[in-house]
Amino acid sequence: MQRFILSKKNQITLIGGILIIIGFASELIYKNEIIALWSLAIASVLGLAPIAIQAYQALKVKVVSIEVLVTIAVVGAFLIRNLEESAIVTFLFLFGAYLEQRTLNKTRSAIKELTEMAPESALKLMENGEFEEVEVDEVDVGDVLLVKTGAKIPVDGTVLTGEGYINEASITGESLPLSKEKGLGVYAGTILENGTLQIVAERVGEDTTFGKIIELVEEAQDSKSEAERFINKFSKYYTPAVLVLAIVVWLFSRDIELAITILVLGCPGALVIGVPVSNVAGIGNGAQHGVLLKGSEVIHDFSRVDTMVFDKTGTLTIGNPKVADKRMYGGNTDEVLAYLVSVEKESDHPLAKAVIEYIGETKTYIVEKTDVVKGGGIVAYVEGHRVAVGNVALMEEEQVHLNEQAHEDIKKLEANGNSLVLTSVDGELKVLMGIRDRVRPGVKEDLQKLKKLGVKNLVVLSGDNQGTVDLVASELGLTEAHGHMLPENKAAYVEDLIAKGQVVAFIGDGVNDSPSLAIAQIGIAMGSGTDVAIETSDVVLMNSDFSRLPHALGLTKATANNMRQNIFIAVGVVLFLLASVFFSEWMNMSIGMLVHEGSILVVILNGMRLLRYKLKY
């Protein structure tokens, strides 16, 4: 029965409103007090039913909720035969709850839109060689799928055949379609605008990037910040205090109507709803713009950031380095380069890939006894020769003699902003390569926006040589630049900044920089929605789009400010209403409830403004 009544709250609100109109029309126009009396009485009882049920459910768990205050007030008004006010109060309370829920649903529009984008079916290659439409839940890793123009990509995967343009706005927030061809990755929930693709499924269902985004946004919208936890705790004690105040007023004044009015006016509805609606709207806006904010606690901390620490490669730079210069020492050039490629194929480091790409097709050998030297490079045996590939520190560790020419070449390449890859064979330096990465387009302008948003310190930490890091810092106008930093050095540096009282955000690729991402107050991952980036960070900039960072910071500042505005509005309205009860003659229960419900709507609408937030500069 309780469940049935609660499910019909909207219909009860409508019937109550109609009965109130009938009641006032009967009394004021037709002078029929009997119909007026019965209409208002029925409206009061009907309206009280769902409110009283919620009050009972709250009391069962020892919570004095807003519904408890309203129930006592309405029963009291009914007993003193103030039916007009009892009917109006129940109607306004229920109508306010309806508007509150409807408006809150709008603030959750981002996650709703994401959910609706989730693909439901796929064209799967069957054993008979034909493609058949199946439910997306029936697709397994390794299945081959056909995607036609206008269809949604059903899984995360890789293109096997075909070409086309895909709209990845649901993943990256970027509206321009991207060209896809054989070997490139695609994401579930994105739309093939033209072309035909065959893809192999690599992640399905909830494991897809799209599934993880939905899960993260849902969790974030349900999370509670410090401000919300304080308000919930405050309300827990505040509502019983209002009840006690009403009882005290009645004991001293013997004015039951005044006591009932205090119960109604003291309801902290706007205070309870004001912060969550700002939180939900802010996270929703972020999701629409390719920024994942993991909860309102993140919003609170991010809005106070005054220091941003950046990894260089893949964050400030594109992360696709190319060999810019090469020096050879000694003979057997082709053989040495073949040794170098053979060893570099054992590594997945970006510099190794650049070396392999530069040398191109060449003979390769079996590599034995591979030893990865942390922060240095790789040492291995090729055709019986000890081959070391890495930085200057590795050469020193291997006791490789660097002659005057080599030292001169190293200084020159470093001065030009190159990362160095040295190769020695049996303790003799054979190859020196200079590899450079390019700064991301638009990064300098984005960093200026961060400064305007109040970030005082912009720091770059990199495992690269100091010369390269200094060049990048100089080009971008950064505050500090530190090279030769291992992951543990970066983490220690971040810890030191925090110990000095700075609020630090670390921006990295979410893999090598995971210790720093975890230590910083705010970890921000650049990583095209990779698993590690999503799991280790507080904020994810989808598609490694650096330009989302100023929007993310501006959004969190606007959201935190919006929360403060809503708290001020809510507290101000309650204080005004209670003051009006004691110091004015015009305030009554109906007017108070109207103002009270109006304040709830105001804080909700104020929070909804965040859905339209855009950075102004």
Whether the per-residue pLDDT at 557 is higher than 90: the answer is yes
Percentages of the chain per state (helix, strand, coil), in multiples of 5: 55, 20, 25
Kindly indicate the confidence band of residue 215, based on its pLDDT and cuts at 50, 70 and 90.
Answer: low
335 against 497, higher pLDDT:
497
CA 353 to chain centre: 32
**Range in 46-55, 106-115, 226-235 the model is least confident about:** 106-115
Q: Encode pLDDT of 148-174 as tens digits.
A: 888 888 888 899 998 888 877 656 545
Pairing of strands 539-541, 522-526: parallel
Please give the single-letter amino acid code of residue 400: V
Residue 275, pLDDT score: 77
**Range in 125-129, 181-185, 526-530, 570-574 the model is least confident about:** 526-530
Residue 173, pLDDT score: 45
- According to the per-residue pLDDT averaged within each range, which of 179-183, 268-272, 424-428, 547-551 is highest? 547-551
Question: What CA–CA distance (Å, rounded) separates 327 from 288?
Answer: 49
Whether the per-residue pLDDT at 252 is higher than 90: the answer is no
**Range in 164-178, 282-296, 311-325, 327-341 the model is least confident about:** 164-178
Structure tokens, 143:
């299945």
**Helix or strand or coil: residue 242?**
helix
CB 518 within 8 A of CB 579: no
Structure tokens, 306:
């005054």
Share of the chain above pLDDT 70, in %: 86
Residue 228, pLDDT score: 57
Q: What is the largest CA-CA distance in the chain?
A: 114
Q: Encode pLDDT of 360-383 as tens digits.
A: 887 888 888 888 877 778 888 888
Residue 412, pLDDT score: 85
Name the pTM for this structure. Answer: 0.63
**DSSP 8-state class, residue 314:** I
Compute φ and ψ for 145, nearest 5 degrees: -125, 150
Q: Which residue has the tokens 């909830």?
A: 206
Query: In the Cβ-directed half-sphere of 200, how many Cα atoms lie within 13 Å?
Result: 8
- According to the per-residue pLDDT averaged within each range, which of 6-15, 532-541, 583-592 is highest? 6-15
Question: What CA–CA distance (Å, rounded) separates 534 from 556?
Answer: 19
CB 430 within 8 A of CB 329: yes
Structure tokens, 19:
């009965």
Question: What CA–CA distance (Å, rounded) separates 278 from 286?
Answer: 12
Reply yes or no on whether 311 is catalytic: yes
Spot the catalytic one: 156, 301, 311, 464. 311
Q: Which residue has the tokens 């090469």?
A: 326
Question: What CA–CA distance (Å, rounded) separates 344 from 325?
Answer: 18
| DSSP symbols for 322-389 | EEEEEEE-SS-HHHHHHHHHHHHTT---HHHHHHHHHH-S-----EEEEEEETTTEEEEEETTEEEEE
Q: Across the chain, what does the average pLDDT equal? A: 80
Please give the single-letter amino acid code of residue 7: S
Domains of the chain by start residue, with CATH? 120-154+156-203 (2.70.150.10), 322-436 (3.40.1110.10)
